[in-house]
Amino acid sequence: MKFDTVVIGAGIGGLTCASLLTKTGRSVGLFEASGALGGCAGAFSRGAFAYPVGATLGLGFQPNGVHQRLMHVLGREIQSFPVDPVMEVKHPHFTIQVKADREAHVQNLQAYFPEISSGIASFYAYVFQIGSTIKQMMQHFPRFPMKNMEDVKRWLRGSSWKTRKLVPLLSQTVYSVLKHHGALDPDFIDYLDGQLIDSMQTDTRHCSALFGLYALDVYHSGSHYVYGGLSQIAETLGDVIESGGNSIYKHEPVHSVTKSRDGFTLQTEDGRSIQARQVILNVPVQSLCDLLDAALFTKLTVKWRQKASQAIWSSCTMYGAIDETYLRNTSLYTQHITVPGGKTNGEHFFLSISSRDDETRAPAGLRSFTISTHTNPRSWIENNDQKSQIEETIYTQLQAKQPEVYEGIQHAFSASPKTWEAFTRRPSGMVGGFPVTRSEAVRGALSVQTPVKGLYMCGDSVFPGASTMGVTYSGIHAFEAVTGLSFTAMEELLYDL
């Protein structure tokens, strides 16, 4: 088999890139190890139920959001609606509704934390100001880290005098910004930690201020529920690829990538040999030491090789169904913090419930749910005790704080890092990208262009933070790097027609 370009992995990053290559008439082969599209944002079915495997909350679906812009270029649409409140946060000391409207959100927080009311107002005014500046820059798809003059030009295009204000944030943490604004309260920090661990994979004390403040603002730019789950992004992109004449090879894990005279030779686990001029890896960087042959792996720089051995979080997840007669005005998204300072192993978890009118996920009268919690893959010993301890923590919290959910559960089952490893092929079930600390955000960031000519990377190893929105940016960047085309120029062409 021979292709101009091969994409390895049908996560949202790889699908984004392959769909744009298809749209612009390129020959591309997409090889996916599993039988499903979407990776961490995919779904699986059991009986009449469809469960999102991990990602559930849609960011970037608002007008001008990255998913909307991509769908516009591809001539497709995804059905979703904005959620408000975005989520409810349940902590031993408080229950907070995260309002979509920025002003209402701040007023809400001030009511919960009256002692630091003015600190919260001042902190969030700054968060929203920084969020708006970064959003403006992101409209031009700046690449990070900058590699050439074109990258510099893009940054400048999205820059204004306000952009200067971002520079000091490179050396600050969210915690230092909080301190500056006089908003240091242990419970408020727990609230922010809860938001950041899900999006930035780290907490206020360690999170880069530049990315952390943007992440705190993003929830208020438009958080959406997607009908059928976020796997609809994957299904839609998959359809663009196949109806555009290219093929997706499911159940075709790529075993090795070797440099050849004209490009690369890939071997699948079934022994199929594939030639490609260029290759886009939509796998985590931790997979590269196994996937690339030794000669190719050593061509990567020290930074890449170090990142390939760096551990990140894994996830423990639960799936099930709830009888909706038990539910009252239950939020579709609830974040639980079961003990002050809790961040992992059920002490912090995210519950997502399907919408009442979404019968693609559960039969009428029932709702499907997904719960996820961070866990350290290194400390994970695959035994039922650890899994049942996490389940126990989650059930105890639900019984105390969301009894309507607890009592309404019809069935439930759970997945461990081992399941994640089997389903997504991510080593040790590590998911969600690198924690966005200061050093990670500046020195540690990887580019979509690897040090090997013709070898590119997309996905959550090369875009800060864990979201379908972020990996969509990475897929667009990979497409641009491979073709030399500009996504925004494609958009302009469409508007001119």
Ligand X SMILES: Cc1cc2nc3c(=O)[nH]c(=O)nc-3n(C[C@H](O)[C@H](O)[C@H](O)COP(=O)(O)OP(=O)(O)OC[C@H]3O[C@@H](n4cnc5c(N)ncnc54)[C@H](O)[C@@H]3O)c2cc1C
Token pair belonging to 328: 């009252």
Measured distance CA(23)–CA(2) in Å, rounded = 19
x/- map, 261-280, ligand X, by CB under 6 A: --------------------
Stretch that binds ligand X, among 25-33, 64-72, 142-150, 157-165 (CB under 6 A): 25-33
How wide is the angle at C-alpha 410 spanned by C-alphas 408 and 415, nearest 5°? 115
3 state SS of 51: strand
Burial class (CB in 10 A: 0-12, 13-18, 19+), 146: middle
Q: Which stretch binds ligand X (CB under 6 A): 5-13, 140-148, 175-183, 301-309?
A: 5-13
Among 425, 437, 441, 478, binds ligand X (CB under 6 A): 425
List the one residue from 3, 5, 6, 13 that touches ligand X (CB under 6 A): 13
* Helix-then-strand count for the chain, H and E: 18, 19
Residue 367 CB, shortest distance to ligand X, in Å, is 17
Give whichever of 269 and 382 is closer to ligand X, judged by the CB atom: 269
Q: Is 432 in the site for ligand X (CB under 6 A)?
A: yes
Spatial contact of 237 and 19, defined as CB atoms under 8 Å apart:
yes
Choose, by CB under 6 A, the member of 282, 334, 393, 437 that binds ligand X: 282
Q: Are 98 and 105 in contact (CB under 8 A)?
A: yes
Write the burial class of residue 76 (CB in 10 Å: 0-12 exposed, 13-18 middle, 19+ buried).
middle
For residues 321 and 469, which CB has a smaller minimum distance to ligand X in the complex?
469
By CB neighbour count within 10 A (0-12 exposed, 13-18 middle, 19+ buried), where does 161 fall? exposed
User: Using the rule CB under 6 A, is 29 a contact of ligand X?
Assistant: no
Residues 386 and 361: their CA atoms lie apart, in Å, by 29
Amino acid letter, 165: K
3-state secondary structure of 15: helix
Q: Which of the ranges 54-62, 70-78, 294-302, 403-411 carries the binding residues for ligand X, by CB under 6 A?
A: 54-62
Minimum distance, C-beta of residue 135 to ligand X, in the bound complex (Å): 16
Q: Which stretch binds ligand X (CB under 6 A): 338-346, 357-365, 425-433, 445-453?
A: 425-433
Sole window of 201-209, 219-227, 395-403, 426-434 interacting with ligand X (rule: CB under 6 A) = 426-434
Q: CB of residue 325 vs ligand X: minimum separation in angstroms? A: 27
Report residue 96 as tokens. Answer: 């907070």
Question: How far apart are alpha carbons 216 and 106 in whole angstroms?
Answer: 12
* Of 87 and 116, CB closest to ligand X: 87
* Interface mask toward ligand X for 59-98; x: CB under 6 A: x---------------------------------------
Q: Is 353 in the site for ligand X (CB under 6 A)?
A: no
What angle do the packed helices 231-243 and 66-74 form, to 10 degrees?
Answer: 20
Please, which residue, 119 or 284, has the CB nearer to ligand X? 284
Position 460 contacts ligand X (CB under 6 A) = yes
Phi, psi (rounded to 5 degrees) for 432:
90, 5
Site residues (CB under 6 A) for ligand X?
Answer: 8-14, 31-34, 39-41, 54-57, 59, 253-254, 282-283, 287, 291, 315, 317, 372, 424-426, 431-432, 459-460, 466-469, 471
